[in-house]
Structure 1
Amino acid sequence: MAGHSKWANIKHKKARMDAKRGKLFTKLGREIIVAAKLGGGDPEANPRLKAAIQKAREANMPNDNIIRAIKRGTGEIEGADYEEVVYEGYGPGGVALLLKATTDNRNRTASEIRHLFAKNGGNLGENGCVAWMFDMRGLLTVDLNEVQQDPEEIMLESIEAGAEDVSVEGETVEIITAPDELMTVKETLAEKGYKFTIAEVTMIPKTTVSVSDREQAEKILKLVDVLEDHDDVQSVYANFDIPDDLMKEIGQ
């Protein structure tokens, strides 16, 4: 699990750029719609919706947009009928890729995702071909440059708050939780003054594929990038392991 946040941090920088184009708001709105559709419109009784709303607020999404998305999910107002779908496949070098998307047209989205895989050196696979390689977990990351506490104190307080595992990767502390404990652990640590770079339910690979060749790493990251840029794709998870220095070079 160590190092999972390396690419995630780069993705979040990209997400802030997406917000300027309005794309992030669209994706956050769809997540709220699906969460409300599946679990109801009360965030206190629907952890997924609560997390989606918090993420939307952190991205400065207008409250009216959030309320409207909830009502669309619960059927109080009309709108496109989005459903959640999962796509699985392989990228260059045999890297496993798991995608979560929301769509109102499964056939269209599947065709477009298949095209993106093929165009960028990958293959869209059958359901179940790579899902077994990932575990669903809550992920919190803390930037050591932005807190007063030392890593050992953060690790101890995180475990006391209910975290399953804590590791230090460079200047980042990764806190792993059970999916349904993410918000509880986050709120407990937030009360102690912690701020998080990442706070989300994610899919963490059980094993990774080491990629040290720059050309291959660039191909993998390009495929991930174009998949993430697709309007219907909410999240892309992969099991590559690219060295820090190479990741920084490519991410600049």
Structure 2
Amino acid sequence: MAGHSKWANIKRQKARVDAVRGKTFTQLSRAIIVAARNGIPDPDGNFQLRTAIEKAKAAGIPNDNIDRAIAKGAGTADSNAQLEEIRYEGYGAGGVAIIVEALTDNRNRTAAELRFAFTKRGGNLGETGCVSWMFDLKGVCTIVGSIDEDRLLEAALEGGADVYELLDDEEQPGAEVFTTVVNLERLNTALRAEGFKVSDAELRWVPQTTVLVEDPEQSKQLLKLIEVLEALDDVQTVTANFDLADELLG
């Protein structure tokens, strides 16, 4: 059941090298709006909304901003913005597959921004479905802190997890626990009940296989592309199917 999360290590390395900022207020607020719109505007009865609010608070978004975002999603506040959830797919340098999930009120603007970002960094924006067949949509709980594997295994099995992967980082230890989409809330509850600190519970596209990147220039292009994509206000998540060679993670 155990493994090691290369993608998590890549994301951490990218954050250190590029000093990537956290999600902007706009991105996090939009996630709250959509969550409130898709379910009831009460976090106690809406897991997606509860998770979005937790992320927003962790990023320092004031409660007033959170309340306004919930009201917009519930339709109790004046707002002309009609946000759509859209998945974009494309290729990075060397043919690496990339999935971008966005919330936008203007499809044309978002597509143009993404196309420019892909092209400038050696990739290209493709058609919907061109790479998603290489990924599976999973529920993922991220745990931070030292891990007792026996306890984690017990909690993961209790929560209906498929697999967990340890984060190979002495400075920031933790683990990612994977499950089916519909089982994410149950897993989150089980892990918290066992005293684990769950920093994030999300849906994520997980690659079925990965491409090993050993060339430093290709690595720089890919990491820069992901950084540029994540900086766009309309973008919520970016996932790719590459691993970096160990010497590039140092």
User: TM (normalized to structure 1)?
Assistant: 0.86
Give the aligned partner of residue 191 of structure 2.
189
CA 1:167 to 1:7, structure 2 compared with 1: closer, same or farther past 3 Å? Answer: same
Please report how far the alpha carbon of residue 237 of structure 1 lies from its aligned counterpart in structure 2 after TM superposition.
0.8
1:127 aligns with 2:128: yes
Q: How does 1:1-252 map to 2 (within 5 A)?
A: 2-10=5-13, 18-19=21-22, 24-79=24-79, 80-143=81-144, 146-147=145-146, 149-171=147-169, 172-248=174-250
CA 1:15 to 1:33, structure 2 compared with 1: closer, same or farther past 3 Å? Answer: farther
CA-to-aligned-CA distance 1:184-231 (integer Å, 9 cap, x gap): 322322232212354322111111111011111111111111111111
CA 1:65 to 1:197, structure 2 compared with 1: closer, same or farther past 3 Å? Answer: same
* Aligned residue identity for 2:46: N
CA-to-aligned-CA distance 1:14-53 (integer Å, 9 cap, x gap): 999635xxx5221110011112222232334432222212
How many pairs are equivalent? Answer: 242
Q: Do the aligned residues in 2 keep the contact of 1:159 with 1:166 (CA within 8 Å)?
A: no
Q: Do the aligned residues in 2 keep the contact of 1:9 with 1:197 (CA within 8 Å)?
A: no
CA-to-aligned-CA distance 1:35-82 (integer Å, 9 cap, x gap): 222223233443222221222222232221111101111211122222
**How far apart are the structure 2 equivalents of 1:106 and 1:82?**
10
Over the residues paired in the alignment, what is the CA RMSD in angstroms?
A: 2.4
**Which secondary structure does the structure 1 equivalent of 2:43 belong to?**
coil
Q: Do the aligned residues in 2 keep the contact of 1:4 with 1:204 (CA within 8 Å)?
A: no
* Aligned residue identity for 1:151: E
Please report how far the alpha carbon of residue 233 of structure 1 lies from its aligned counterpart in structure 2 after TM superposition.
0.8
* Gap regions ≥5 residues in structure 1: none
Structure with bigger RCO (C-alpha 8 Å, 6+ apart): 2
**How far apart are the structure 2 equivalents of 1:224 and 1:123?**
13
**How far apart are the structure 2 equivalents of 1:95 and 1:118?**
14
User: TM (normalized to structure 2)?
Assistant: 0.86
* Gap regions ≥5 residues in structure 2: none
